[in-house]
């Protein structure tokens, strides 16, 4: 990325020239990085035409967001972000991305691809993506594993800090206990609160930067005020919403500007929403596994979130394969006996399969 262009000087992040408010900042764990109180999540821009995605990122930056989180696996998200930030002084941005690679060679290739697509010389936080099983943990932390690749990239000046994301608390805790990471990204909202008991306290004790993925429950919670007000009670956590429309980011930025303590009424509303969703909310803990029929239960139960956030056409072959496995369900209910949330999983599998198939038919996706 080149130096400060005339455009960058006249349109600095958070500039008040166009009537925007500067967003509050916080120090991101022991990295010492100063990041906006809200991050920009790069999943939904996969669905947007490139000009619209670039405009959305630029306008979000002008609202005061300086922390962008994406992944090399999010289709063309990195390319779109790279176009949007080209010409903005690099020191004004904090860029985080991630890779699903298990080995050193592949993750080094992914890092170089991310640098090229993001049009930058370095990435602030490079994360091992979705370390949510013992098998994944053993692979990425092995000799010549992906972690070693990130460390080489750090020595080469391509990456500043290593982080990871996880969907399961057991694996998140195991990764934290290695003492090798500067940031953790995990699901956290006022429904998904598994991380509160051990993982978040441990991460804070270790002075980790903490990113809350799925602040809106993967698009399943529509009360943005409650979702972000809840998360903003903790000044050590950065909510990372996936943004598809400028109005969404404007609303969230305004909530962040005005957020105060949760009121009794807020708590009552949260309890009502929690009770209303309790019968069908999959927390992706995967305690229901293994399924005797090898059904990817937590993937199937995320169908509504995938439809709302992802490029369904590009994911249809992979997700569709998981959906087709639902036909093999025998109703043995072993998954139900293991589920800590008492979900009627066989029923939910069929409902989500129907939702997916109806969506494909409506939008003529094969």
State the catalytic residues. 74
Q: Which of 148, 68, 147, 145 is nearest to 114 (CA)?
A: 68
The Cα 38–Cα 211 span in angstroms is: 10
Pairing relationship of beta strands 40-41 and 67-69 according to DSSP bridges? parallel
Q: What is the DSSP letter of 76?
A: T
Strand order in the sheet with 183-187: 40-41, 67-69, 94-99, 123-128, 159-165, 183-187, 209-213, 237-239
| Alpha carbon distance 23, 339 (integer Å) | 40
- β-pairing, 33-36 vs 25-28, is antiparallel
Helix pair 264-277, 224-231: axis angle to 10 deg? 110
Helix (H) or strand (E) holding 25: strand 25-28
Q: Count Cβ atoms below 10 Å from residue 303 Cβ, excluding itself.
A: 24
Instruction: Identify whether the C-beta of residue 150 lies closer than 8 Å to the C-beta of residue 141.
Output: no
Distance, CA of 317 to CA of 174 (rounded, Å): 33
Alpha helices in 92-133 (DSSP H): 104-118
Q: State how far the Cα of 194 lies from the Cα of 44, in Å rounded to an integer.
A: 25
């Amino acid at each position: 990325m080149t130096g400060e262009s005339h455009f960058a000087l006249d349109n600095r992040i958070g500039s008040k020239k166009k009537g925007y408010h500067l967003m509050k900042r916080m120090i991101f764990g022991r990295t010492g990085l100063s990041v906006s109180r809200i991050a920009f999540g790069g999943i939904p821009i996969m669905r947007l035409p490139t000009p619209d995605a670039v405009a959305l990122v630029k306008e979000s930056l002008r609202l005061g967001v300086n922390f962008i989180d994406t992944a090399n696996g999010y289709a063309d998200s990195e390319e779109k972000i790279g176009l949007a930030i080209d010409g903005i002084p690099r020191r004004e941005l904090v860029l985080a991305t991630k890779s699903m690679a298990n080995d050193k060679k592949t993750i080094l290739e992914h890092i170089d691809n991310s640098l090229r697509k993001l049009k930058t010389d370095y990435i602030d936080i490079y994360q091992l993506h979705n370390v949510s099983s013992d098998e994944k943990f053993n692979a990425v932390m092995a000799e010549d594993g992906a972690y070693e690749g990130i460390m080489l990239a750090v020595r080469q000046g391509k990456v500043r800090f290593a982080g990871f994301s996880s969907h399961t608390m057991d694996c998140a805790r195991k990764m934290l206990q290695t003492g090798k990471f500067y940031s953790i990204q995990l699901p956290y909202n006022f429904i998904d609160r598994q991380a509160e008991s051990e993982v978040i306290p441990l991460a804070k004790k270790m002075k980790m930067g903490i990113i809350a993925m799925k602040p809106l429950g993967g698009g399943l919670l529509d009360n943005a005020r409650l979702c972000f007000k809840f998360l903003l009670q903790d000044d050590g956590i950065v909510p990372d919403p996936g943004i598809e429309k400028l109005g969404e980011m404007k609303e969230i930025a305004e909530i962040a500007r005005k957020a105060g303590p949760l009121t009794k009424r807020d708590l009552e509303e949260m309890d009502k929403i929690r009770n209303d969703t309790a019968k069908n909310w999959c927390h992706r803990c995967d305690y229901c596994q293994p399924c005797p029929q090898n059904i990817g239960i937590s993937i199937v139960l995320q169908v509504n979130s995938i439809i709302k956030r992802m490029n369904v056409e590009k994911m249809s072959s992979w997700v569709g394969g998981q959906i087709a496995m639902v036909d093999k369900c025998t109703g043995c209910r072993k998954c139900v006996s293991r589920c800590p949330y008492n979900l009627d999983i066989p029923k939910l599998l069929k409902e989500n399969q129907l939702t997916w198939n109806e969506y494909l038919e409506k939008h003529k996706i094969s």
